Structure 1
Amino acid sequence: MREDILEAVLKKGLEKYHEEWRKNQEAVFENIGKLRDMAKKDYVTAEDVRSVHDNVTKRLKNLTGIEILWLWGGKDAKIEEFLNRQEFKTLLSKAERIKDVSEAEELQELLMKVTQGKHTKLSTVSSWLCVMNSKVFYPMHTQTLPKQLREKIGIEIIWGGKTNEKSIQEYLAFLKTLERINKKLGIENMVEAAFYLSRFSKGKLESHETNQPNYYLEITKPPGKPYLENHVGRFLWSPADERYLDGREGKIGLLNTGDIIVHDVNGKIVGYSKVAEKPKVVSRDEIIKIFTDEGIWNPEYSKFAEGWFRKSPDDKFYLVKLRDFQKLPEKIGYTKLKHLPHPTSIQGVYLKEIDSKVLEELGVVSSKNKDIPSQGLTLRDYLASKGYLYQEHLVSQFYTALKTKGFVILSGLTGTGKTKIVQELAKLLDSSGENFLFLSVRPDWRDSKALLGYYNPLTGKYHRTKLLDFILKARKDYERNGRNSAPYFLLLDEMNLAHVEYYFADFLSVLESGRDEDGFTREGIKLHDVDEVETFDGIPKELHLPPNLYIIGTVNMDETTYSFSPKVLDRAFTVEFHDVELEVYPSGSGESRLPNEAVDTLRDSILRDLSGKNGQFLARSKGEINEAVKELKDAKSGEYWRILIELNKALEPYDMHFGYRVVDDIALFVQRARESWENGIVEFESDDEIFDLALLMKVLPKFHGNRKKLEEPLKAVLGLCLLENAGLDVRELRRGNVLELLRNWETQRENFRFRHTAKKVLRMLRQLYEIGFASFS
């Protein structure tokens, strides 16, 4: 859950609506008190319920603007029935006496029991708990946690029919987070917090407080070429009148720094820009002076401006400075952008708020969250701008694996962009190409000579290679510049055309030797023992790999290639490129231009992210690894750690369990993924997806064999991927069941908590049933 975004939204709500809350809070709690009195009766009658429903709840809705307490159960519920249930009464009685959220965990078992009853799911129960104790319990339902807010903070619907043990745990975790934020901001109770958060559903909270821009359409008809000869993309301006501040004609008063303006000039979309400064009020003479200095003011523009001047009797105007104007390759009409407002609805309008989907159609923002704006430019957005279509999780998985381990194997279908994703990342970070080396692996490679060269005693010379020079360049850069050095990417194409264990053995050994205090591998690859070669040719006797070197191998599995041994898979992260979405191919119209500033920001973010907090790139001390493992143990109240223990125990009878290195890698991946997510470089659906991808890459790649060997272990993994109460018995799965699950994956995926791992397991089971053999690749 994104606590930072939740805090930002609450902070904004407090600033904007505290006065309204202060005026109404006494009346709100007076009515909540009446509800509490009814609930505490020894026996609640239907007449009691009718009286309260007709008076109190309507009054609460008028005071708060929403159904802030969802008290009445589902359709056809008889409220008096569940209010008179003994378990329900016991729960409310105990809740009233609780002093803080930490004590609420004592009610978990009783809360679970009550929410299994008819019409008493979490939305209703949490509302009644709030009635009894508003200091501790939040009324959780659709109106107090609207969809856009849930997606921003990363919490799924856990009420209604989705109420289960997991959702109770998540509710209690949410209470802890909210209690912490409330104390920090001075919010006195959960009803007040719900009052602020509910405003988000009405679009009343400006999204810039959570790094989310708003989007507007400027409709104008100035003379001259946009940006070059008029104000378009450089300024917005209008009469300083309520109609233009926040009325039908305009929304200038709502603009904030970073908001995006789409420009309609003479009925065509010509480009877009960003708000550089908040609106200010200026005079007619100031407008003329500013526009003259900017080269905008001329006789033709003067005639255009007279229309605005006449609309302001007091000679006051709103002026907004813009930046980063991006002209579209060609003007676009309204018929080509289906999410623009209809032309008849904007007659006489200067500035209108628009849906972010317009920007998605223009390729300006990400389409990941279709109901909310994109949080800046992610790596996937950048790749999409280059015309390469990757699923969000695949880009995030690849980048985080590379950042975590520095050795990544890309497997899967040919033509799915395995090579391109590496090339484009390297090019983004250094357009010169000096930081990238592409090597095609040859089938006749038997040792490391083809990679690193060799000393020829007959000639007294060392036979250099491109890779050796590339590594020495990376090492020199790191020695000179430290955290400010560039990351270097080695791509081994068709890595398994030769035995990896032969030609890459030296690399595998030193990569796992650990790092010294300077970040280099503790052990080196022995190259030669000749002093002259080291002195005059600059080739060291032992090659210690620098921490800014990243190694990526692409593989395709067929009869001409070799499979990987556990030794290799244990030391790498394996990312599979399998899914192909022809429905959305090609993406847009190919390459699209991104604002230079956005690309520069993304580049700087990635460089900082890769170099790490200590500036040592891939170097990880044992203390840092232990800290990552500790964080994993504590994550989700220890749930992920319990799953790892269960998984290892389930696999142990089949000799397919994993060691400490795999656990370290999973822990580091989870930790690094959260960092990169917070830095806005990649996006994940949730913490569960991060853990899911770690399991997929570190546990499944070693599964390789026949049905007798793999069927039961795969089913054990699949069982741990299921949601509770999924109603699926994995032990009974046969070929037909597996095929049915895969064919209907879009609906069946809802049965699984760890969906990426589950889908891969199902595909491997299908292989077992069809040909009697399966492997990860």
Structure 2
Amino acid sequence: MITQVRSWTHDDSITTMIGRKKVDWSIFEYGTTIPNDFRSYFYVANGGEEIEIGKGKQVTLICDGNLYQASLRNVDQKSAGRETLQLRYHSTEIKELMISRFKHSYEYISARKPQDPGNKKQVFVSDVLAEYIEFYSTDIPYTYEMKLIPIENNYNLAPNIWWVNQGATLSEEKEEGIIWAPLTGKGGRSQYHWDTLDEVKQGDIILHYANGSIGYVSKVLEECVRAQKPSSMSSSNWDEQGRLVRVEYHMLQPKIALTQFSQNIMGLQIGQGPIHSGAGVKQGYLFRFNIEGLQMIQESAPEVNWPEFTLSNQTETKEKAVVTSLLILKDDGVADTLKQIQLYVSHQGFHYPKGLIENLYLSLKTKPFVILAGVSGTGKTKLVKLFAEAIGATGDNGQFTLIPVRPDWSDPSDLLGYKDLSGAFRPGRLAEVLAEASKPENHHRPYFICLDEMNLARVEYYFSDLLSVIETQEWQGERIVTSKLINRDSLREEDQPLYGDLYLPDNVYLIGTVNMDETTHPFSKKVLDRANTIEFNYIDLQQYPSFTSSEKVTTLPVHNHFLRSDYLQLVDVYQEYTDLVHSATEKLVRINHILEEIHSHVGFRIRDSICFYMVYNKRFELLSDDEAFDLQLLQKILPRVQGSSMSVKRVLLQLMQGVLGRTLPVAELLEDSSELYAKWNDNQEETKAKHLQSARKIAFMLRRLEEDGFTSYWLS
């Protein structure tokens, strides 16, 4: 697997590689800053030792048999609220080496670097012009082999892909077989989307966009030259001096509308690319593009007869395109993505309680099985559908599937399938989705399965196989795999390729919707242990569609890493989040002492699940710690409490003390707790609770116990 973050790349197939760094200006000044995703590679090279914040270690760099001294420092950037790992030089000797070996990058960046010291804007160097440093581990910690790769050793014969906006100039430029842009505009200033012409080389591919669609593609015949403004453009008010590239135009029929592919191109996040965050086209002339984007456009228009030169090298780049077509969102981008999902949902005319989208996301990230509970008509199924749609998973592309549960389902064959009398395998709808999601070309796409009215049948009967394999998740390389749901040897030879050894892949998310009434079945602890149960019974009917904005809200297709679990065992998070794990566990220990009285205490599975939820919340900065723990009490602890005994009432009152954060007269309230829940009915207590939602739920459960003689999480 190849990991890429900004100018750094790591290839897992090269066992001793720490990372490959594209040369930028920092290489000629002080050294380099190491992305957080690459810290672990350096720590492994150092024998697993991490550097304390604010401290540093001496480093020896070996290059061409020569030794150079540097340091690896874990810088405390208090102003930015983070720590940063940096590799810094100790002498001018390394700087001189870099300038002499990377002469091309030094001259290229120097010529484009802002002269104003206050302007920190980075100069972007395209891959075809880039030079690199590779760092490799040795047998000695803090000693790295350094390999320098100048451009003469890194020449890339693969074509660059470009995107040109032409509009009114298309006909004139096509007639002359060129693209052209001025050197400078008003005030003598250049523009980066004009400067890009200097990087165009013979054999490159250019997509020509005008009037809402791509109508031509061209092959570059000659590298860029300085040339006067063409006579066909004499009527324009541009400067006379400019850059000219000769190309060979090819018409595409039919034209390809921007709306066919712009959403997918957004996911590529191409540096200085043509598509802005609203899925429209930026103002400007020549923009950077890439082979993955070209392939996406070609896949969106299979009816177009593309010229042969655009199809070259696609076989060897296909796998790369599959992996990178939807980029992984970094931690600091998750909150903004969830806001975009919330905006998409509200623009469809649906309104859900505050924090519900964040809660659903954290629950799915913790474990790919979530239960949505609530009274009929609250929009549970619609929430699943809209959440999936917002990140690019729809019924049309097969990434969202609704499976209505039937009351007569009694075993897994209703979901997974069965063998008929002839021995042929008849797949169930779930098996069909799992088989599609398991294909290598779909590993990066999230698939949602909504089990509607999940408890019309007994969940433990028809869902038993899924409940079991969810607990067998383990890492296999870069993927999470489970035990097999269907064994290959049990199928006929013709059924084996698609359904043999079928398992639950890590890009499938199971969400069940439930109503709790006289027509449904209760859940066992086996089910509740494996799911986050999200309830939204508190409905505000006075919510109406909003017409304050006519702006179209677009979907934001994401890579499966946005949702896939990062942790399977507590050891995965313990070292980095020790304090948070201890804090959550200590609270659970106190809760377990209370629950033991009614034999509803929790085990390691729930402990780990709650810790993962809390860690994800801390990483993505979505909710406060108290809000997050409140939701976990509500979703993982309280569903286990039910009964009619005085012990159940005592447990509820003791839990209420904890969620309110103050002592209650439990002995008195055992006789009559109406005073307590009456205050909640009047909203008198809501501003005083430490864990508001759990307190409100416990108050309702106490009321049910006193009024009906029985209580349960599911009765409200």
Q: Return the TM-score normalized by structure 2.
A: 0.51
After TM superposition, give the deviation of residue 736 of structure 1 in Å: 2.4
SS in 1 for 2:687: helix
2: CA distance, partners of 1:633 / 1:375: 28
Q: 1:763 to 1:592 in 2, by over 3 A?
A: farther
- Comparing 487-496 with 522-531, greater Cα deviation is found at 522-531
1:439-454 alignment, distance < 5 Å? 439-454=403-418
After TM superposition, give the deviation of residue 663 of structure 1 in Å: 0.4
Q: 1:538 to 1:731 in 2, by over 3 A?
A: farther
1: CA distance, partners of 2:680 / 2:454: 30
* Residue 689 of structure 2: aligned partner: 752
- For residues 281-318 of structure 1, the C-alpha deviation after alignment (integer angstroms, 9 at most, x for no partner) is xxxxxxx969xxxxxxxxxxxxxxxxxxxxxxxxxxxx
Q: 1:183 to 1:486 in 2, by over 3 A?
A: closer
Matched, 1:474 2:437: yes
* Residue 377 of structure 2: aligned partner: 415
2: CA distance, partners of 1:700 / 1:568: 14
1:637-656 alignment, distance < 5 Å? 638-656=582-600
Q: 1:640 to 1:767 in 2, by over 3 A?
A: same
1: CA distance, partners of 2:653 / 2:571: 31
Residues 418, 427 of structure 2: 8 Å contact kept? yes
2: CA distance, partners of 1:180 / 1:427: 35
* Residue 609 of structure 1: aligned partner: 562
Residues 594, 654 of structure 2: 8 Å contact kept? yes
Q: 1:630 to 1:576 in 2, by over 3 A?
A: farther
Q: 1:629 to 1:706 in 2, by over 3 A?
A: farther
1:711-726 alignment, distance < 5 Å? 711-723=649-661, 726=662
Matched, 1:389 2:356: no
Aligned counterpart in structure 1 of residue 580 of structure 2, from 626, 635, 645 = 635
Q: Percent identity, aligned pairs only?
A: 33
2: CA distance, partners of 1:488 / 1:562: 27
Residues 454, 528 of structure 1: 8 Å contact kept? no
Residues 364, 509 of structure 2: 8 Å contact kept? yes
Aligned counterpart in structure 1 of residue 571 of structure 2, from 613, 626, 635 = 626
Residues 644, 711 of structure 2: 8 Å contact kept? yes
1: CA distance, partners of 2:81 / 2:498: 57
After TM superposition, give the deviation of residue 324 of structure 1 in Å: 7.8
Residues 416, 430 of structure 2: 8 Å contact kept? yes
After TM superposition, give the deviation of residue 529 of structure 1 in Å: 3.5
Q: 1:324 to 1:673 in 2, by over 3 A?
A: closer
1:672-687 alignment, distance < 5 Å? 672-675=616-619, 677-678=620-621, 683-684=622-623, 686-687=624-625
After TM superposition, give the deviation of residue 738 of structure 1 in Å: 3.0
- For residues 113-172 of structure 1, the C-alpha deviation after alignment (integer angstroms, 9 at most, x for no partner) is xxxxxxxxxxxxxxxxxxxxxxxxxxxxxxxxxxxxxxxxxxxxxxxxxxxxxxxxxxxx
Q: Output the amino acid matched with 1:689.
A: E
SS in 2 for 1:742: helix
Q: Output the amino acid matched with 2:527.
A: V
Aligned length: 401
* Residue 102 of structure 2: aligned partner: none
* Residue 770 of structure 1: aligned partner: 707
1: CA distance, partners of 2:530 / 2:432: 24
* Residue 60 of structure 1: aligned partner: none
Q: 1:460 to 1:591 in 2, by over 3 A?
A: farther
Residues 455, 528 of structure 1: 8 Å contact kept? no
2: CA distance, partners of 1:697 / 1:744: 24
Q: Output the amino acid matched with 1:628.
A: V
SS in 2 for 1:491: strand
Matched, 1:560 2:513: no
* Residue 699 of structure 1: aligned partner: 637
Q: Output the amino acid matched with 1:410.
A: L
Q: Output the amino acid matched with 1:754.
A: H
After TM superposition, give the deviation of residue 626 of structure 1 in Å: 2.1
After TM superposition, give the deviation of residue 567 of structure 1 in Å: 0.7
After TM superposition, give the deviation of residue 497 of structure 1 in Å: 0.7
Residues 402, 550 of structure 1: 8 Å contact kept? yes
After TM superposition, give the deviation of residue 375 of structure 1 in Å: 9.6
Matched, 1:424 2:413: no
- Comparing 696-705 with 560-569, greater Cα deviation is found at 696-705
Matched, 1:522 2:502: no
1:255-270 alignment, distance < 5 Å? none
After TM superposition, give the deviation of residue 507 of structure 1 in Å: 0.8
SS in 2 for 1:766: helix
1:427-506 alignment, distance < 5 Å? 427-428=389-390, 429-431=392-394, 432-456=396-420, 458-476=421-439, 479-480=440-441, 482=443, 485-506=444-465
* Residue 550 of structure 1: aligned partner: 509
After TM superposition, give the deviation of residue 448 of structure 1 in Å: 0.9
Q: Output the amino acid matched with 1:474.
A: A
SS in 2 for 1:538: helix
SS in 2 for 1:552: strand
- Comparing 641-650 with 731-740, greater Cα deviation is found at 731-740
After TM superposition, give the deviation of residue 499 of structure 1 in Å: 0.8
SS in 2 for 1:769: helix
Aligned counterpart in structure 2 of residue 658 of structure 1, from 602, 623, 642 = 602
2: CA distance, partners of 1:629 / 1:581: 40
After TM superposition, give the deviation of residue 536 of structure 1 in Å: 4.9
Q: 1:736 to 1:529 in 2, by over 3 A?
A: same
SS in 1 for 2:601: coil
1:705-744 alignment, distance < 5 Å? 705-723=643-661, 726=662, 728-733=664-669, 734-744=672-682
SS in 2 for 1:750: coil
Q: 1:590 to 1:181 in 2, by over 3 A?
A: closer
Q: 1:382 to 1:607 in 2, by over 3 A?
A: farther
Residues 643, 720 of structure 1: 8 Å contact kept? no
* Residue 316 of structure 1: aligned partner: none
Residues 597, 647 of structure 2: 8 Å contact kept? no
Residues 574, 698 of structure 1: 8 Å contact kept? yes
* Residue 37 of structure 2: aligned partner: none
After TM superposition, give the deviation of residue 650 of structure 1 in Å: 2.0
After TM superposition, give the deviation of residue 631 of structure 1 in Å: 5.8
Matched, 1:586 2:531: no
Q: Output the amino acid matched with 2:699.
A: L
Q: 1:633 to 1:768 in 2, by over 3 A?
A: farther
- For residues 530-556 of structure 1, the C-alpha deviation after alignment (integer angstroms, 9 at most, x for no partner) is 45x244563444321111111011111
Matched, 1:379 2:341: yes
The gaps in structure 1 that reach 5 residues or longer are: 1-175, 185-227, 229-287, 291-321, 328-372, 611-616
After TM superposition, give the deviation of residue 377 of structure 1 in Å: 3.5
Q: 1:670 to 1:577 in 2, by over 3 A?
A: same
Q: Return the TM-score normalized by structure 1.
A: 0.47
The gaps in structure 2 that reach 5 residues or longer are: 1-75, 85-166, 168-235, 239-274, 281-334
Q: 1:647 to 1:539 in 2, by over 3 A?
A: same
After TM superposition, give the deviation of residue 764 of structure 1 in Å: 0.9
Residues 677, 703 of structure 2: 8 Å contact kept? yes
SS in 1 for 2:349: coil
SS in 2 for 1:748: coil
After TM superposition, give the deviation of residue 558 of structure 1 in Å: 1.1
After TM superposition, give the deviation of residue 594 of structure 1 in Å: 3.7
SS in 2 for 1:546: coil
1: CA distance, partners of 2:659 / 2:678: 18
After TM superposition, give the deviation of residue 388 of structure 1 in Å: 0.8
2: CA distance, partners of 1:672 / 1:394: 15
After TM superposition, give the deviation of residue 619 of structure 1 in Å: 6.4
Q: Output the amino acid matched with 1:671.
A: V
Residues 486, 503 of structure 2: 8 Å contact kept? no
